[in-house]
A and B are shown apart, each in its own frame.
Chain A
Amino acid sequence: MGSWTIFLKDLRLELRTRESLSAMVVFAAAVILLFAFAFDAAPTRFRSFTPGLIWMTYFFAAVLGLLRTFGQEKELEAYSLLLSAPVDRSTIYLGKAAAFFLFLLAAQIVSLPLFGLFLDVPLLAAPAALALIFVLADLAIAAVGILIAGMSLRSPAGETLLPILLFPLLTPLLIAATKATSAALARRPISEWDFWLMLLTTFFFLFVLAGTFIFDYISEQ
């Protein structure tokens, strides 16, 4: 119940300001445009790299979104007030992670077509498989991202710490997402690459479990 309230609160805040979402979308669009210029010479030759480019773009966009989400909380000491609410800390974690998952997915839905448009990524090759990959990967990114952001952004050097901590921890996820995306875009049957989906799912469950257990300890004053 508490998680749901926090989820709705984050959602309402985002709908009013659109800070995280616009930051992520604009950043993704700018990077995609840069890639398009950089690889202009031979787009087909770079097709094998594009799944990696997609996930790198969304990793950095996610960092940006996390910075913004917690930046808002920092103003007027809102985060401290939130933590003093008489609920279990893990409900705060789950609510914020669910909201961030939705923002990330929304940012991707808006910006992903640009990959198809500028970099010739065959997005319509396997739309259902792609949707599944993006949902699983985003769940995992949100699970780790909110945990690390909730911790690092309360430190003096939080903005620097966040990407430094997040990137190595997300390495297996980024590998799995990239591999699955490239298999799906190549229209390979799902039975050949369902291993990567399983890895994404395991990653998500392990880190959500860790997050609900640990968030209590990192959010003390």
Chain B
Amino acid sequence: MQAFNSIRHNQLFLAVTLVAVIVNLWLIYRVAPVVSEQEMAQKIFYYHVPLAWNALLAYLLVAVSGVAYLVTRQTRWDQWSLAGAEVGTLFALLILITGPIWATPIWGKPWSWEPRLTTMLVLFLIFVGYFMVRAFGGPYERASRYAAVIGILAVIDIPLILTAVTWWAPEVQSHPQMEMAQQSSSILRVFLFSLFSFTLILIYLILFRRHVGAMEFRRLRGSEGTSDA
């Protein structure tokens, strides 16, 4: 099997993604205006919010390919599910890191049990369980099936967690509502470009991880073949 980055269209995709990332950095630090009351802390939103949107997108992929895997039993769906889960959880971890970095100067404390931060933490914990099922769930095929189930249950749980924690303490509603339509258009445009480039990063990483997953599966099947012989 060919290495991921030796394939022509993957090289092209990587180049486009890298250019987008560099342009994005330039836009964030040079073009986007500084919001007066938050100063530089506000810049983290060009990372934080796109990461959040893309993490949820990745988790949606986990659930959809989980259903497809349970129904069809084709390994490629399991590889999509694993790729989505790993990249989604990486993004979720970065959200949990960037959130408190922003909150420390603005709210005066890093963590405030605010609904959306709490939701992301719970979701992150569910996916920690997902990886433990993969690692300790038994034979490959069975562990994959169990992991698919956790991915589906997680997505069913997201709206419930969101409702519960939003109602949990309605007075803790300090998550800044990014009413982008009301922001100046220069902020909005940089934000949308950042969203675009983070989506490129997400797609690139998922494709890469899925490719590696397929290689791992081949090796696994190959070694099983030789041990049988």
A contacts, CB < 8 Å to B = 144, 147, 151-152, 154-157, 160-161, 164-165, 167-169, 171-173, 175-176, 179, 195-196, 199, 202-203, 206-207, 210, 214, 217-218, 220
B136, A206: Cβ atoms under 8 Å?
no
Given contacts A151-B149, A179-B168, A218-B145, 6 further A-B contacts (CB under 8 A): A157-B132, A164-B128, A165-B126, A175-B164, A175-B165, A199-B164
Contact of A218 among B132, B146, B163 (CB under 8 A): B146
Give the interface size class of chain B.
20 to 34
* B31, CB-defined interface residue at 8 Å: no
Contact status B122-A168, CB under 8 Å: yes
Q: B14 in the interface, Cβ–Cβ < 8 Å? A: no
Taking CB atoms, residues of chain B closer than 8 Å to A171 are 122, 157, 161, 164
Which residues of the partner chain B approach A202 to less than 8 Å between Cβ atoms?
160
User: Is B41's beta carbon under 8 Å from chain A?
Assistant: no
How near does chain B come to A206, taking the closest CB pair, in angstroms? Answer: 6
- Rounded to whole angstroms, the CA-CA distance of A4 and B106 in the bound complex is 58
Residues from chain B with Cβ under 8 Å of A214 in the complex: 70, 149, 152-153
B residues 128-172 near A (Cβ < 8 Å) are 128-129, 132-133, 136-138, 142-143, 145-146, 148-150, 152-154, 156-157, 160-161, 163-165, 167-168
How many angstroms between the C-alpha atoms of A49 and B65 in the bound complex?
41
- Identify 14 residue pairs between A and B in the complex whose beta-carbon atoms are under 8 Å apart, listed by A's number: A144-B153, A147-B149, A151-B146, A155-B138, A156-B138, A157-B136, A169-B153, A173-B160, A175-B164, A175-B168, A199-B167, A203-B160, A210-B152, A217-B145
Residues of A within 8 A of B12 (CB): none
A220 and B161 CA atoms in complex are apart in Å by 30
**Chain B neighbourhood of A156, CB < 8 A:** 136, 138
Q: Which residue of B70, B146, B156 is within 8 Å of A206 (Cβ)?
A: B156
Known: A151-B149, A179-B168. A207 touches B156 (CB 8 A): yes
If A161-B129, A217-B145 touch, does A169 touch B136 (CB 8 Å cutoff)? no
Contacts from B to A (Cβ < 8 Å): 70, 122-123, 125-126, 128-129, 132-133, 136-138, 142-143, 145-146, 148-150, 152-154, 156-157, 160-161, 163-165, 167-168
Are the CB atoms of A206 and B160 closer together than 8 Å? Answer: yes
> Given the known A-B contacts A165-B129, A165-B133, A169-B126, are A152 and B146 also in contact in the complex, defined by CB atoms under 8 Å?
yes
CA distance A16 to B151 in the complex (A): 38
State whether A168 touches B160 (Cβ < 8 A).
no
Which chain B residue lies CB-closest to A158? Answer: B136
Cα distance A167–B161 in the bound complex, in angstroms: 12
**Are A167 and B156 closer than 8 Å at their CB atoms?**
no
A77 CB to closest chain B CB (Å) equals 16
Q: How far is the CB of B143 from chain A (nearest CB, A)?
A: 7
With both beta carbons as reference points, the residue of chain B lying nearest to A179 in the complex is identified as B168
CA distance A196 to B107 in the complex (A): 29
Residues of chain B lying within 8 A (CB to CB) of residue A152: 133, 137, 146
Partner of A172, one of B132, B137, B150, B164: B164
Q: Decide: A169 near B146, CB < 8 A? Known: A156-B138, A161-B133.
A: no
Q: Are B163 and A172 in contact (CB under 8 A)?
A: yes
Contact between A210 and B153 (Cβ–Cβ < 8 Å)? yes
Max count, chain B CB within 10 A of own CB: residue among A157, A169, A210? A169
What is the CA–CA distance of A175 and B126 in the complex, to the nearest angstrom? 16
Interfacial chain B residues near A195, Cβ < 8 Å? 167
Tell me, in angstroms, the Cα distance from A154 to B138 when the chains sit together. Answer: 8
- Complex CA gap A220/B73 in Å reads 12
A167 touches B125 (CB 8 A): yes
A161 contact from B125, B136, B142, B149, Cβ within 8 A: B136
Nearest-CB residue, chain B, relative to A193: B167
Q: How far is the CA of A218 from the CA of B70 in the complex (A)?
A: 9
- Given the contacts A155-B138, A218-B145, A165 and B160 also touching, CB distance less than 8 Å: no
Chain A residues contacting B136 (CB-CB under 8 Å) are 155-157, 160-161
